[in-house]
Amino acid sequence: MRKKIAVIGSGFASLSAACYLAKAGNEVTIFEKNQTVGGRARRLEKDGFTFDIGPSWYWMPDIFERFFGDFDKKPSDYYQLDKLSPAYKVVFEDDEIPIGDDLEKIKATFEQVESGSSKPLQDFIDTASDNYDIAIKNLVYRPGESPLELVTPQTVKKLGAFVSNVSRDVRKKFKNPKLVSILEFPVLFLGATPQNTPSFYNFMNYADFGLGTWHPKGGMYEIILGMKTLAQELGVEIHTNSPVERILVNNNGNATGVQVKGTEQEYDIVLSGADYHHSETLLDTKYRQYSESYWEKKTFAPSSLIFYVGFDKKLKNIEHHNLFFDTDFEKHAHEIYEDAKWPEDPLFYANFTSVTDPGTAPEGCENGFFLIPLAPGLEDTPELREQYFDIVMNRFEKRTNQKVKDNILFKESFCVNDFKSEYNSYKGNAYGMANTLLQTAFLRPNLRSKKVKDLYFTGQLTVPGPGVPPSLISGKLVADLIKKHSR
Ligand SMILES: Cc1cc2nc3c(=O)[nH]c(=O)nc-3n(C[C@H](O)[C@H](O)[C@H](O)COP(=O)(O)OP(=O)(O)OC[C@H]3O[C@@H](n4cnc5c(N)ncnc54)[C@H](O)[C@@H]3O)c2cc1C
């Protein structure tokens, strides 16, 4: 039966869910608090420069193909995808290592760094590929309603991969600390340290070395624009500048609509893709499933300090994606997950899409995105941002062997306070809740409210977890659940 469905938020998860729900014949309306759609993946345009505000790594192209394929479309119907070569480079204190665009090239690089390491790398990636296959076929497309969903002949064989962790496995096979850092990097996308991430999640290494790093021409926001177009083609109505103030619940405990700009609007079903913690604050306390102490105990993925910088010249010694792993990773991780303090000597990530996609900066210029991962909930002041901008620029100049500070046309920043005010993010987290062993699948916050009928949730704080591909999957999962429970 055709239902009237209100969707809160317009991030990847909400847009994905809205597309599936509209395709199933429902009347779907999106309410987004911000001026533009996209959530954490919005775009900043300034003086001819274009920046993705949030995500910049396009990994797991198969998930995007599957999403658009479900609507008889292809990613190329909406955006042009290019494989990056090199995929990225990693800068260390004394040298740098480029990561090629296929496994054979990467094996050759590993061999140069640590003689004899190409064979263990092949073995490691073979296991990662196997895990990827199982994850995609048996795990991530499950709604997390019951632990039994995870029990299949394939997953049972992999139980051991949930006992050990990625860090231990990598260190068993590789001795060179640079190779260890490179192989530990992909699981950072899941929001926890490699020590706290089960071995099974090394499927992210297959995503990295096996499937490659891609770039949608114009930036990640092109995917959002594609999904917005698709949603509208399917009949979804989108209201921006429309923060939802309350989720309405009747005396029988059924969600009956939303309050937007002081006006109550009736719906059969409410689905929130806003941050889960915030979504529950839109309900009376008795209808919330999770207490403040529940959220307090969870391992959240980091927040970030990000700078968007317009440079008035082309820069040297950079690639599209650059990881500055030239300081102590363990120390920085400790400062994020244990001490919850500003890092003394931070690692950082920088991208310059203008290196491979000249349309994203004026001719002869470069657009720089610099990101330092931080503990969520840190104090965030203009002075601290300035202090860390200097740290990043000094290190960047030193490592890339050039002067850039006098070539800055402008800089914008985004940090903990912006994550809170722009997205209602819990403690200003950037990437949601981490995928640790105890925060996986049915152990994550539910897609379907256990306290309010006809109320659902989607996005990076629920299943399957943080990242753009998981958010696309989360939208599909919740749409399937709505279909199942609202007959
Ligand atoms: C800096 C950064 C870098 C990242 N890098 C990568 C990357 O390279 N690759 C990758 O795969 N992933 C990356 N991620 C993660 C990825 O961007 C997220 O997992 C994904 O975008 C989350 O989508 P979502 O739909 O769950 O949430 P969101 O995008 O946060 O969407 C939630 C929406 O709800 C809206 N909202 C909140 N409250 C209300 C309300 N009351 N009423 C109406 N609307 C409301 C918000 O404005 C927002 O639009 C990155 C994230 C960040 C922040």
- Between the alpha carbon of residue 458 and those of residues 102, 325, 480, the distances in Å are 34, 33, 12
Q: Are 197 and 436 in contact (CB under 8 A)?
A: yes
The residue nearest atom 5 of ligand 1, judged by CA position, is 55
pLDDT of residue 347: 97
Closest to 455 (Cα-Cα) out of 279, 264, 245, 237? 279
pLDDT of residue 304: 98
Instruction: State how far the Cα of 265 lies from the Cα of 367, in Å rounded to an integer.
Output: 43
416 CA to centre of ligand 1 in angstroms: 14
- Residues linked to residue 215 through DSSP beta bridges, in sequence order: 82
Q: What is the pLDDT of residue 312?
A: 98
Q: The tokens of 10 are what?
A: 């317009």
pLDDT digits (tens, 9 = 90+) for 200-244: 999 999 999 999 999 999 999 999 999 999 999 999 999 999 999
Give the per-residue pLDDT at 486. 87
What is the predicted pLDDT for the residue at 360? Answer: 98
Pocket test for ligand 1, best of 7, 8, 35, 40 (most atoms within 8 A of CB): 40
Q: What is the CA radius of gyration of the chain?
A: 22
Residue 163: per-residue pLDDT: 82
Which segments of the chain have a pLDDT < 50? none
Sheet holding 27-31, edge to edge: 237-239, 27-31, 4-8, 269-272, 455-457
Ligand 1 atom with the smallest distance to the CA of 422 is 47
Determine the distance separating the centroid of ligand 1 and the alpha carbon of 39, expressed in angstroms: 5
Instruction: Describe the crossing of helices 118-134 and 103-113 by its angle, rounded to 10 degrees.
Output: 140
Predicted pLDDT of residue 157: 83
Q: How far is the CA of 35 from the centre of ligand 1 (A)?
A: 15
pLDDT in tens, 134-150: 999 889 999 999 988 88
pLDDT at 1: 84
DSSP letters for 323-336: EE--S-HHHHHHHH
Closest residue by Cα to atom 50, ligand 1, is 55
| Confidence at residue 107, expressed as pLDDT on a 0 to 100 scale | 98
Task: Catalogue the E-assigned strands of 180-260.
Answer: 214-216, 237-239, 244-249, 255-260
pLDDT digits (tens, 9 = 90+) for 58-105: 999 999 999 999 999 999 999 999 999 999 999 999 999 999 999 999
Ligand 1 atom closest to residue 468's alpha carbon, by position in its atom list: 11
Query: Are the CB atoms for 223 and 57 separated by under 8 Å?
Result: no
How many Å lie between the centroid of ligand 1 and the Cα of residue 42? 9
The closest alpha carbon to 8, from 459, 392, 324, belongs to: 459
**What pLDDT does residue 104 have?**
98
Complete DSSP assignment for 171-201: HHH---HHHHHHHHSGGGGGTS-GGGSBGGG
Both tokens assigned to 332: 């920085």
What is the 8-class DSSP label of residue 387?
H
